[in-house]
Structure 1
């Protein structure tokens, strides 16, 4: 009986004790539980990954919609600005046209007033000259009343 024999006996006793307390079953049970827990964590990770993909797709869709909406808003603002610019241009052109027409009317009125004033002055001068000439020719006669009446009628007709 040497040391090898006793080592063999100790090993057999160790295996017997391990078998008696069902250590391999406990190890298998612990490994199975750990395997199940790992499998469950993998499934949860897959579910989280799928959820993350769905959320990413949703956010990308919303981003694209927001970009389209932003482009629409910018295009609408540009159209509105162009419309306001066109309207302002038309209004300013109309304003200038009205002011030009008013200025032309004032100029025409001033011309007419000047022509009327010149005519009136010319008539007054002509009547005065005619009265003077007629007065000198018929200085002391019966025709003086007739001359005054004629001068009055000429003034009325010429003015």
Structure 2
């Protein structure tokens, strides 16, 4: 028999010597000690809880519900994580696409800038050549005008000088002889 249900009670001491400890007998009911009665009461309570009240089913049902709630939370967390990963990948793809677009735009802008610079150089060279021709034309026109003016002044000056010389050296008789000569030639 287990020690819990053992009923060996200590023997009562009848003789007491001075200076010797006295042991008292503990109370017992139906041959069982108090700690044995506590053990029996606990066993009866547990049997009642598991057999009659079916507490184990209630406890198991509560634990099952708790496990289901935890699983649902884990599934929801997995789903949220998958959505977050998909969003992160989508934005990473968008960023990569934006970087490619930015590079393409920068390359196109560089090409356009190069073509604009080349065209500006060509236009500048053409404009300089055109302005140079215009300047040369103006210089040539000014030279012609200056030569024409010089010729006109020279003609005026020679005419005036000839008129003075003729007026000083020719008299009326010489004018008649000259007029007659011109008439004969005609």
Q: One fold, TM greater than 0.5?
A: yes
User: Where do 1:57-76 residues align within 5 Å?
Assistant: 57-76=89-108
Specify the alignment match of 2:78 in structure 1.
Answer: 46
- In structure 2, relative to structure 1, the CA distance for the partners of 1:5 and 1:137 (3 Å cut) is closer
Specify the alignment match of 2:39 in structure 1.
Answer: 8
Specify the alignment match of 1:152 in structure 2.
Answer: none
Is residue 110 from structure 1 mapped to residue 142 from structure 2 by the alignment?
yes
User: Where do 1:20-99 residues align within 5 Å?
Assistant: 20-99=52-131
Q: Deviations over 1:73-96 (max 9, x none)?
A: 222222222222333333332222
Q: Which moved more, 1:66-75 or 1:84-93?
A: 84-93
Q: How much does 1:133 deviate?
A: 5.7
Q: Deviations over 1:117-151 (max 9, x none)?
A: 333344445555566369836751433325788xx
SS at 2:173's partner residue? coil
Which of the numbers 173, 177, 182 marks the counterpart of 1:140?
173
Q: Give 5+ residue unaligned stretches, structure 2.
A: 1-31
Specify the alignment match of 1:156 in structure 2.
Answer: none
- Bigger RCO (CA 8 Å, 6+ sep): 1
Question: What is the aligned length?
Answer: 149
Alpha-carbon distance in 2 for matches of 1:136, 1:104: 47
Larger Rg: 1 or 2? 2
- In structure 2, relative to structure 1, the CA distance for the partners of 1:148 and 1:48 (3 Å cut) is farther
Q: TM (normalized to structure 2)?
A: 0.67
Q: TM (normalized to structure 1)?
A: 0.77
> Alignment RMSD, CA only?
2.7
